[in-house]
Structures are given as structure tokens and as C-alpha cells.
Amino acid sequence: MSNRDLAKDIIDLVGGEENIYNLYCCATKLRFSLHDHEKADKETLEKKDGICSVVVDDGQFYIAVGNHVSEIYAEIKKIANIDGSNSPEQGDGKSKRNIGLYIFERIFEFIAGSFTPLVPVLVGAGMLKALVIVFASLHILNTEEAGMNDTFAILSAAGNAVFYFLPVMLGVTSARKLGANGYVGGAIGAALLEPNFTNLEDGSSFIGIPVVTMDYSSTVFPIFIAIAVFALLERFLKKIIHKNLQLFLIPMLSLAIIVPFTVIVFGAFDDYFGNGVASGINYLMEANDVLAGAVVGGLMTFLVLLGLHWWIVPIMLENLANGGDAIGPLWAAATFAQIGVVFGVFVKTKNNELKSLAASTAVPGLLGVMEPILYGILLRYKRTIPYVVIAGAIGGAINGLFEITSLSFNINSSILTIPINTPWQFYLIGVLASLIIGFVLTYIFGFHAESSKAVRKQ
């Protein structure tokens, strides 16, 4: 059966074009948003050649078609008029859905879809970083030996580059996800890492508007917001600029508008909100160790994703100068909670491709390289995020209760950094609690639609 024939059958069997108000393309699945799930013939779909499985969950209708999902998706979009304009709130009765949930799903689908093309290189680079750490720890790469320091630097660059330049790569994928020019999106991300820009000092301004500088390397959400605004701007410019001028004028205006916008908005956000977060954590640490542990352990994952964790580093360094840091062990609880979730995904899933992905993100994670887990698993499967919060909060509270302190600076907690915490035996209890709880929650409650055994009707 051709891709076009399968696409036609899928449209008919989900209730026809009029029953579809949106369609997304995941790694191996088509994700339909339907007005009425009762109109979809799930049993017939499951029997069709070319369809691996059909699952209804979280108000979404998932059809797994394998690695050629993008081709099927393209055919469906050609055949049916699906643009999201026939929104869920336009219907009545069962067709009505919570608009807040709908918006959240669209945002999360945008984030997950932007990361999906990058997962292989994120995981590969993460594994390389982990190997470099192991080789250095075993003195296979002796950084003090002549020539070995250069080798270490080159291999480190190979592993670090994808994470450092993540705004550039996400600029490309997120712009394409929104139907905008991916190369302009990449250029917006690159501008945030351009040497002249990164060398700007505090007190800088743009046409008289104060600019608060920040480090955009490895950040995620600034580029997402920037590209979302860029996509809207590009559509607007296409309507008002003559076609003969669009080739150069739209990219020029987009760069000239979006880059300063991003710098002004996120510089201020990072300054005020980041300072507030750091002050809040410092206050909690002084007021109640257990509460501070629960808050830091539960929310640290979000602070890392927003790039706000760097505001906590000066406090950690000051603590170390005074004899020991208590924030690092709380942060570690969030790290091990993420590792536990990945172990849960590995054991739970029956999908060999996902099992391989989980294993390849867990190994770097155990060595302190968390980006593959964050971007390869957590941001793709939103159901895992509450597990990380719960597990991290419990582990953080335990480490706070035992007043664990770190004797050396470290923001990449791993199995190799356990000895720098004292008393390390109680530290181990806290991080193992995070890991085990994250694993158990993931294994029991599942992590995405394919793990749900019940069919939820709208």
C-alpha cells in the first residue's frame, strides 16, 4: 500500500476530515486531535497494514506508523485541510475541550517536535562527553601529560559543541516546526552567541534601551520564545512586502527586530527573576533545611531548563568559601530523579528504539551529563515531569534533613561525585530515594500514550 493510500484510509477511519481539528507528527506516531473519538474506528485501524498500534490517551488519538511517519504526515496534510482553525471550542457537547489544556498541549508539542530531530546528536554527544569523563578519571587521558591535554580539549569540544550551540540548532528546528525559515531561525540563535555580543558588559544599551547581558549558550527557552515571535513576524511581513523584495527584506527585518527583542526581554527576565530565585533559595536555606531541600530538589529541573540555575552558582561558591555548600546536594536530588525516570522508561517500554534511547541517555546521566535526558526524554514525554518533581522533592528533603554539605564545587552531580559530599552515606540515601521514586512512578503510571492501557474517551 502506498503512503497516499494509507493516508486516505487513516483520514476516513478517524472519522473524516471534519472530525480532525489538528494533527501533529511525533518521532514514530501521528497524533490526532479529534472532536469525537467515538467516530474513529480504532479496531479497523489496528488491522491495517502499515499501522503498528493505535492508542487513545490524554485526549489525543495516536497512530504509530514507524519511521516513515513524516511521509504519511505529509500525505495527510496534502489530502485534508487541517490547520487547527477548526478549534475544539467551536463545537458543542463532547467536542468542547478545555482551552487552557489545548494551548498547553500545543506548546508542549512545539517544544517536543523541535527537539525530536536533534535527539540522535544530543545522545551521541552526551555519550562522547561521558567517555571523556571516564577516560580522564581513569587517567587514560592524562591532562597533565604532553599532548594529552590537546587530545582532551579536542574531544571535549566535539562533545560540548552541540550543547553550547543548542540555541542555533533549536533555532533551525523550531522555526521549521512553525513553518518559518529555518536558516533565519538558526541565524537568530547564532547572533546570541556571536563573540562581539557575548563580550558586551553590564550597562550596555540598544538605541538607548538598557540591555542586561546574559549567557545564552546551552539555553532553550529564550530561543523558543524568539522563534515563536519570529514566525508571527515572518507571516506578517509576507503579507505586506512585495514578493520581489521578500528574498532579502524579510530575513533582514527579522534579524534586526527579533535579536534585539530577545536580548531586551530575556536580559531583563534573567536579571530580575534570576536574582529573585537565588534570593528565595538563600532565604529558604536559612529558614528550613527540609523545606529548602524539597523546593530545590523539586524545581531545579525547571531552573536548569530556563537557564536560571547560574544565578545560584555564586551562592554555592560563597558557601564553599565558608566551609561547605548545602545547595549542591539538593540539586543532586533532581539529577538522580531524572536518572530514575529514564530507568523507568527503559524497563517499561516495549519499543526497542525508545529502550535504546533511554539506555544511551542514562549512561551519560550517571556521569553527570544530563542534557540528553532533559531534551531526549523529559521534554518529549511530558508525563514524566511530575515524577521528576515529586522524586526530586523527596530526595532533596532527605538531604536537607541530614544537612548534607558538598566540600567541592560541582553542578554536575554523578556517581563519581558522591565522595565529595559529607556525610556521604546519608547523601547516598537521599539521591537513591530520588532515583528509586522516579523509577517507580514511571514504571507504575507510565510515561506517554503508548504506556496507557486504558482507552480514555472524550
The answer on pLDDT for 296 being more than 80 is yes
Q: What is the pLDDT of residue 248?
A: 94
Task: Kindly state the average pLDDT of the residues 27-51.
Answer: 84
**DSSP 8-state code for residue 375:** I
Q: What is the pLDDT of residue 247?
A: 93
The answer on pLDDT for 53 being more than 90 is no
Q: What is the dihedral of CA 390, 221, 77, 40, to 10 degrees?
A: 20
Give the β-pairing of 53-57 and 405-406.
unpaired
Residue 200, C-alpha cell as written in the block:
558586551
> What is the three-class DSSP state of 335?
helix
Q: What is the pLDDT of residue 26?
A: 67
Report CA 150 to chain centroid distance, whole Å: 32
Q: What is the pLDDT of residue 71?
A: 80
Catalytic, 25? Answer no
The answer on pLDDT for 189 being more than 90 is yes
**Active-site pick, 6, 11, 23, 26:** 26
Residue 324, C-alpha cell as written in the block:
561547605
Q: How confident is the model at residue 148 (pLDDT cuts 50, 70, 90)?
A: low
Q: What is the pLDDT of residue 424?
A: 94
The region of weakest confidence among 61-75, 140-154, 401-415 is 140-154
The answer on pLDDT for 88 being more than 60 is no
In 3D space, the residue among 399, 397, 406 whose CA is nearest the CA of residue 427 turns out to be: 399
Of 259-263, 335-339, 448-452, give the range with the top mean pLDDT: 335-339
Structure confidence by residue, pLDDT tens digits, 56-84: 765 678 888 876 777 888 789 888 877 55
In 3D space, the residue among 305, 306, 303 whose CA is nearest the CA of residue 316 turns out to be: 303
Q: What is the pLDDT of residue 58?
A: 59
Q: What is the pLDDT of residue 274?
A: 75
The answer on pLDDT for 360 being more than 80 is yes
Task: Kindly state the average pLDDT of the residues 13-36.
Answer: 82
CB 442 within 8 A of CB 348: yes
Q: How far apart are the first and last CA of the chain?
A: 31
- Identify the H or E element spanning 34: strand 29-34
The answer on pLDDT for 146 being more than 70 is no
Tell me the C-alpha to C-alpha distance, in Å, between residue 455 and each of 30, 78, 326, 366, 451: 17, 29, 45, 35, 11
The answer on pLDDT for 413 being more than 90 is no
Q: What is the pLDDT of residue 90?
A: 45
Q: What is the pLDDT of residue 69?
A: 77
Task: Kindly state the average pLDDT of the residues 296-302.
Answer: 92
Bigger pLDDT: 167 or 21? Answer: 167
Q: What is the pLDDT of residue 65?
A: 84
Q: What is the pLDDT of residue 303?
A: 85
In 3D space, the residue among 264, 252, 410, 425 whose CA is nearest the CA of residue 325 turns out to be: 410
Q: How confident is the model at residue 454 (pLDDT cuts 50, 70, 90)?
A: very low
Tell me the C-alpha to C-alpha distance, in Å, between residue 448 and each of 112, 350, 442: 12, 12, 10
The answer on pLDDT for 91 being more than 60 is no
The answer on pLDDT for 378 being more than 70 is yes
- Identify the H or E element spanning 154: helix 148-164
Peptide bond before 251: cis, by omega within 30 degrees of 0?
no
Q: What is the pLDDT of residue 450?
A: 45
Which phi and psi (to 5°) does residue 55 adopt?
-135, 140
Q: What is the C-alpha to C-alpha distance for residues 434 and 365, in angstroms, rounded to an integer?
A: 14
Which class in CATH covers the domain with range 3-94? alpha beta
The count of other CB atoms within 10 Å of the CB of residue 399 is 33
The answer on pLDDT for 259 being more than 90 is yes
The answer on pLDDT for 453 being more than 70 is no
Q: What is the pLDDT of residue 322?
A: 83
Q: What is the pLDDT of residue 145?
A: 64
Q: What is the pLDDT of residue 456?
A: 35
Q: What is the pLDDT of residue 394?
A: 98
The answer on pLDDT for 97 being more than 60 is no
The region of weakest confidence among 70-84, 248-262, 406-420 is 70-84
Of 78-82, 197-201, 237-241, 302-306, give the range with the top mean pLDDT: 237-241
> Average pLDDT over the chain, rounded to whole?
85
Report CA 91 to chain centroid distance, whole Å: 33
Q: What is the pLDDT of residue 142?
A: 67
CB 395 within 8 A of CB 294: no
The answer on pLDDT for 458 being more than 50 is no
Structure confidence by residue, pLDDT tens digits, 311-348: 788 788 888 888 889 999 999 999 999 999 999 999 99
Task: Kindly state the average pLDDT of the residues 97-125.
Answer: 78
β partners of residue 34: 20
Q: Where are the beta strands (DSSP E) in 222-278?
A: none
